[in-house]
Structure formats: C-alpha cells, structure tokens
Amino acid sequence: MEANIVTTTPFNDQKPGTSGLRKKVRTFQQPHYLENFVQAIFDTQDGLVGGTLVVGGDGRYYNREAIQIILRMAAANGVATALVGQGGILSTPAASCIIRKYRTQGGIILSASHNPGGPDEDFGIKFNIGAGGPAPESVTAAIYARTREIDRYLTIDADPIDLDQIGAATLGAMRVEVIDAVADYAALMESLFDFNAIHQLFNSGAFRMCFDAMHAVTGPYAVEILENRLGAPPGTVINGTSLPDFGGGHPDPNLVHAHAIVELTQGAGGLDFAAASDGDGDRNMILGKGCFVTPSDSLAILAANAHLTPGYSQGVAGIARSMPTSQAADRVAEALGVDCFETPTGWKFFGNLLDAGRITLCGEESFGTGSNHVREKDGLWAVLFWLNLLAARHLSVAEILGEHWVRFGRNYYTRHDYEGVDSAAAEGLMDHLHRLLPDLPGYQLGAYRVAYADDFSYTDPIDGSVATGQGLRIGMEGGSRIVFRLSGTGTAGATLRVYIEQYESDPARHHEPVQEALGPLILIARELAQIEARTGRNAPDVVT
C-alpha cells in the first residue's frame, strides 16, 4: 500500500512541556495539527522504522480518533508492529511496562494526565523511548525543531482498526496487535508485592478501604488487581468506569478534587485506608483514617520500609526526588547510607539514574511516586506498596506516619497553586523574584535568616546534561524552604506553584495543623513575591 504524502505547514506552538504536548482538544482537532507532531516523532526517531511501537492513552475525549490517525501514519512511516491497548486504553505506567517487557522501540502515549477531559477540555501526546520513560530533553528538542520546519507528513488510506477486539490485524504492511491493557501490568505488580499478605488483610474483616479511579484509566486495573486478584469486596473501587470526560470531574487525586474519599476517612467510622489515582494512572493520593499522607512523606516512608516487600527486599540503591519535593526522603537516604538526588520537576530526569542503577525509588510532590520497575510514576503501584506495608506492619496509616516522624523528624510541607494566572503577570512575578535573589542570602525574613537563594539548575550525573531555570529556591538556616515555579502542565494561562517547607525534630510538635505550622512562611512567601498585587489573587486555588 502506497504512502500518501500530505503537504503541511508548521504550527508555532508545538514545543513539548515537562510531559509532552498538551493543548485543548479543539487545537489537536485542527487539520494537520496532530499529524505534524506525530510526523516529527517519526522523522527524528529512526529506530521506529522496522521496529515496534506501543500506542495507547487514558481514554479521554479524542483518544480513539487520535490512535487511528497515529496507526495509519505509523504504517506509512515503516513501523513493523504496533501494540495497542484494548479499547485504545493504556495507563501511562502500563505503557511503560509493555515497552520494557516487549523491548519495543518506544511508545506514543495520549494523555493530559490530571487535566480535565471532554470536547472543550484538554488532550496531550508524548513519546516514550525504548527504556520506557519519557523522552529526554535531547529527544523532545529534536522533535520540536522538526515541527518548526515540517512541510509534509505520511499516511495511508485504510479502514479503522477494531480497537475493542483483542487480536492481530494488518494496516498496510504493518502488523497491529490489540492487547489486553491490564494483564502484563497486573503480572508485574504481583511479582513486586506480597499478594497473599494483602489478600489476608482484606479477608481479616477488620480492614476497610476505598479506591477512587475518578472515572479515569485506572478503573479496569484497580478492579482486576484489588477486587479480582486480592479479594477486596466488590465496590471497593468507585468511579471505576473509564469515561471520555472523566464523569465531568477533575481527574487530579488531591484533597480538593478527590474530596469525596477524604470524607470517607473522617470520623469514628472512617475507612482505614483510601486512595485515588489520576487521569492516566501515574499519580496517587494516600489517606488513612483521619489523616493524609503527603507525597513527600509517602516517598520517604516507602523508602524506609521497602525491605518489607518482595520486590525490594534487598533494600534501595538510592533515592531521587524533584527539587520542590520536601527533604523528608533525604533523611531516610542518609540513615540508609545511600545517595539522594535532587532533580528538576519532570519524570524524565529520573530516567538516567534508574537506568544506571543509581536509584531504586523516586518521587515528586505532585502526587507521583515510582521505582525501577517501570520508567514512569505509578499510582496503583504506590497504593499496592502501602497495602503491603499495612499488611506487614500491622499498624494503621496514622501510626506508620507517627513512628516515621519520631525517627526522622517531620517536614511540614504544603503547595499553594494559583491557576490560570495571566501569563504576563506570572512572568513579571518571577522576574521580580529573580532580581531579589542576589541580595537575599543573610537577610532576615521574620524569624528566618536566608541561607541561600538561587535559580535551581541540574547537571545530570550520568550524561552531564544541564537543565537550568528549574525554579527559584529560597532556603533558610535550619532547613526551611520556599520554592516558586511556573508549571508546565496546564493549557490555559500560567499556574504559579509555591512550595513551603519547615523541618521539625521535636515529636511534641509533630501534630500541629499544617497550614498553621507553616503560617509565618506562607505569609513571607506571599509578601516577598507580591502575589496579590501582581496576580490579583488573594488566595490560592488549590492547597495540598
């Protein structure tokens, strides 16, 4: 079957962010828009010719249509085999699992992660390399450069592939295999965790939990693993049907957007454990009866207890965290005698460390935790890890938290998000802070003396690559910090993220309300950045 050459012209807005290209659905539906970006992938990734490509997404609006376009283009560009999740579904960690298990040459993942879905909402696309992780900056830079000069793309005329029927078909000269979206991932989880112990936990009759799939991609995975394989009561998974608009909700597993399960853990009759995952299954929120585990604390606790699980019984080689993530994991790494790396935000920065065997666990404050089992953060994996710990330690979530703080101290931590801020105003705020940085060291801010102030940059210890402009850090004597960043995951305006952290070693002060404990630092951050004056916002949209 002859490839069709379609003439096109570049779009000027196809630069990938921290997790690929994210825009409104209607932007992707423009003639040639998706095709240009996909062709740029094929034009820059020579290994795909004659190779195998994994394709799948989180099921959001436009997922199926985009997959058919990509498959036709893959056939025209000489891909030999395409592995597609049944129904066009693949969670992001499951896609990474499949890329690695079958040693493919990469994958195209369709998702805007935790962003809303629907005809007027968000869509996204990213390329994952053969190691299973997000493309490094050298690859995304090459893809972006190609989008700026592209003048044609290749496709074929062909009927749509039946995505709902498991089995093989042909598309031109390319073999298309529609695969079970859940099986390989579930098998991997069973190899890492003590399913028998977790099954006994559910069968004890004294343990109650809920998992909120938020009408996103993890519904089928959670039902199969938690209910079918581990014996959790039917109905343990709520909102388990994947919907193109995520049921009209916001598929972000935080205290605001997943408030329904937060309420289920409150009071004397509250659930013992609750969790949620996001649109594409790579994020997680962990709750116990009457308590919330911050993602920063979760990473530290998993690292400190990893030896209790089959997959990590030999301990951890090292830990990595994104720069804005609290320093709780650093204290665990020091106690374990292993390295702790501080990287920029974006999962791709963990890839080299994982591939080189320098780290075993990694995480970000933005509800992402993962390990060397795949090359993506993994929401359901984190939930299973916690269930394994609960089964092994015979303690509640609150008791595990309390014991951890007594041993390592508590890093009080919060993130304040100001969403949809005027982009010019947000840039002006950051420029204002940039000008302040040189004069801040040694300066007294309330009860805090500034120890350092910088614009974080990172030199990769494996390949020597340098990432600059990764966020503004203001560190105080004693370990407290304020960090300012503009997020790269939104599609409208700018999101200003302010991260505030304070270390407390005294166990008698480990149970203060977080916002109260951090109140003085929160006020300093707002005044220093002139947030209200520059953005018109007198309060954040989301507090986590």
Residues catalogued as catalytic = 113
Q: Which two tokens stand for residue 300?
A: 């530290």
- With 0-12 CB in 10 A as exposed, 13-18 as middle and 19+ as buried, what is 539? exposed
Q: Which two tokens stand for residue 98?
A: 């499949």
What is the amino acid identity at position 60?
R
CA distances from 14 to 24, 33, 123, 150, 414 (A): 12, 9, 13, 12, 32
Residues facing residue 501 across a β-bridge: 413, 481
How many CB atoms neighbour CB 170 within 10 A?
A: 12
Q: What is the DSSP string of 448-488?
A: EEEEEEEE--EE-TTT--EE----EEEEETTS-EEEEEE-S
DSSP helix/strand/coil, 118: coil
Buried-exposed string 66-76: b where 16+ CB fall within 10 A, e elsewhere: bbbbbbbbbbb
Q: Are 501 and 413 in contact (CB under 8 A)?
A: yes
C-alpha count within 13 angstroms, C-beta hemisphere, residue 22: 21
Q: Are 425 and 534 in contact (CB under 8 A)?
A: yes
